[in-house]
Structure 1
Amino acid sequence: MKNIIHILLLALFVYSCGSTGGKNFPSDKIANSKNDTVRIANDSLEYEIIVIEPGFNIFINSYAKPRGYYSQNYLENKNRLLVSEYNQRVRQPMTYNPDLYLNEINYDSNIDYGYEVNYLLYNYFVYFSRHYNQRFSVPTRI
């Protein structure tokens, strides 16, 4: 009798460790994954930045310094330097991981993108450097 209980417990343990294949997950959980996409756009200037990074939205809402903490001038200067370094890494796929550095960022320092774009772009670099353990020559802080 004691052996049967042990066998049943073992069978229950093995069954509970089975894969989740064939289970239907609620559609609202799948829909929530779209919340990790951040779109930054200004239709009058005809530009658009789309950040598709799991966890970035949570980072912005939980860990980033609040809007207004940095001046727009500070963010523009940081972004100019960070974008330049990022684009150099995109152009060197043998040196830097091409899975991390996919596309160049077309950031023109002569265009006034506004505070929100500069804020989100800077915080993307902060998130990117922390999440992927990348160091830029321009320090990113939180």
Structure 2
Amino acid sequence: MRNIIYIALLALFIYSCGSSGGRDFPNGKNNSENDTVRIANDSLEYEIIIIEPGFNLFINSYARQRGYYSQSYLENKNRLIVPEYNVRVGQPLRYDANLYMNEINYDPSIDYGYEVNYLLYNYFVYFSRNYNQRFSVPTRI
């Protein structure tokens, strides 16, 4: 299967630098449990995999509901944020290589559907909030 989108954000940011415990979310809940969100569609030949501690909790508890944003809004945000994220992946001396590990292959000319765009955009919101990262295109926080 040819993957057009393959996000394997192996969030084994398991605090291997000797830190103890997980990060706290703004409400004080610990998000150190491993989460995996996977969506695949063989007919469109894409796959998105997000492996990130606390992302599932974020999607189910803190993110705006599905349908809040239009698909075109999500596509426009992703179209602007993905290239900036990929630039950071390619600059490990400037940006933390433990945060920016894998490039995201997002082709704006392909209609990935609402669910992929929703999860990708909300991953950026989660990433921005959880790791205190800012993109030139603001994400809702």
Secondary structure, in 3 states, of the residue corresponding to 2:123? helix
Q: Deviations over 1:50-92 (max 9, x none)?
A: 1000100000000000011000000000001110100000011
- Who is 2:46 aligned against? 47
Structure 1 gap ranges (5+): 1-32
- Who is 2:115 aligned against? 116
Distance 1:41 1:110 in 2: 18
Secondary structure, in 3 states, of the residue corresponding to 1:87? helix
Q: Relative contact order, CA 8 A, sep 6+: which one is greater?
A: 2
Secondary structure, in 3 states, of the residue corresponding to 1:135? coil
Whichever of the two has the greater Rg, that structure is: 1
Distance 2:86 2:51 in 1: 18
Amino acid at match of 2:97: P
Q: How is 1:118-133 mapped onto 2 (pairs within 5 angstroms)?
A: 118-133=117-132
**Structure 1 residue 47: deviation in Å?**
1.4
**Structure 1 residue 48: deviation in Å?**
0.9
1:73 is the counterpart of 2:103? no
Of residues 41-50 and 126-135 in structure 1, the stretch that sits farther from structure 2 once superposed is: 41-50
- Who is 1:99 aligned against? 98
Structure 1: 4+ residue segments shifted above 3 A: none
TM-score between both structures, scaled by the size of structure 1: 0.74
Please report the RMSD computed on the Cα atoms of aligned residues, expressed in angstroms.
1.0
**Structure 1 residue 41: deviation in Å?**
1.6
Amino acid at match of 2:110: I
Distance 2:119 2:93 in 1: 29
Q: How is 1:20-35 mapped onto 2 (pairs within 5 angstroms)?
A: none
Q: Which has the higher helix share?
A: 1
Secondary structure, in 3 states, of the residue corresponding to 2:47? strand
Amino acid at match of 1:40: I
Distance 1:90 1:40 in 2: 23
